[in-house]
Structure 1
Amino acid sequence: MDQTVIGPDFFGLIGIGIGAILLYALLGLLLLLIGFWAVDVTTPGPLIRMVRGGNPGSVLVTASGLLAMALVIVTAISVSSGTLLEGLLQTLIFGLVGIIAQVAAVRILEWVTGIDVGEVLKAEELLPQAWVIAAAQIAIGTVVAVAII
């Protein structure tokens, strides 16, 4: 058997693979944007302005939220099965559930601890409570990611 010859289906499979990568990347980006929007809508103040303004609490909480959402999205992609369309739909559904879980978890954390998330995000200095919110974001993202498995 000649090992130097590329099979006739090689480039077709590569093309399909590249297409799948691009579709999952676009879906992942869309879910991250939806997640950012969900956090923005459920917190007082325009989050994007606070992040652009360099408010350290808003930057930390946003970064941890995006990381947590990425954990959920990556896990959803890795366990997706079936056709490409089925895998994309699974990723979309699990990603949206993860976003809802994260937003709800932060609201519950705010209620239970009495932390005013809006004030933490608006503060011009990094408040210790921002670390609690960031840790909660990553924790709930990890829990949701493992639940997907």
Structure 2
Amino acid sequence: SGTNAHTIIEQAPETAQLPPTPDSGALVPWVLSGKGEPALRAQAARLAGHLDATDGWTAPDISRSLAARETFEDRAVLLARTPDELRRALTALATGEPAADLTVGRARSEDRTGFLFSGQGSQRLGMGRELYEAFPVFADAYDEVCARLD
């Protein structure tokens, strides 16, 4: 930390959080996304068909699998405690109907926030210049910021 410590960032302590079990009655989120609303609805319809044709699935397992997939602009979150609630929410999404356990929206990528913890600069003299020379993406971003500030 040193004499002039302003912020100390540490890793959070490890906690033993167990995923909900199929019979725990825990509220389980299912996150779906698609390239456009029709793709999102089609994904919900395919997933509902898969659930009807498959035995032995659990809501937490599917929730984890869906959360690990690539995300697109159009998104939906289904919240449910039972397989029947999940099927109802999927059906509502697939047909474009509103449902209490369903939230549909569109991600906005233009509102991005960045944080810079630059220190005082004396830790690594010339670091910015070296980054500028080595990485064209950094140089372009730096030039864009400078142009806006000018």
Q: Which has the higher contact order (CA 8 A, sep 6+)?
A: 1
TM-score (norm 1): 0.23
| Larger relative strand fraction | 2
TM-score (norm 2): 0.23
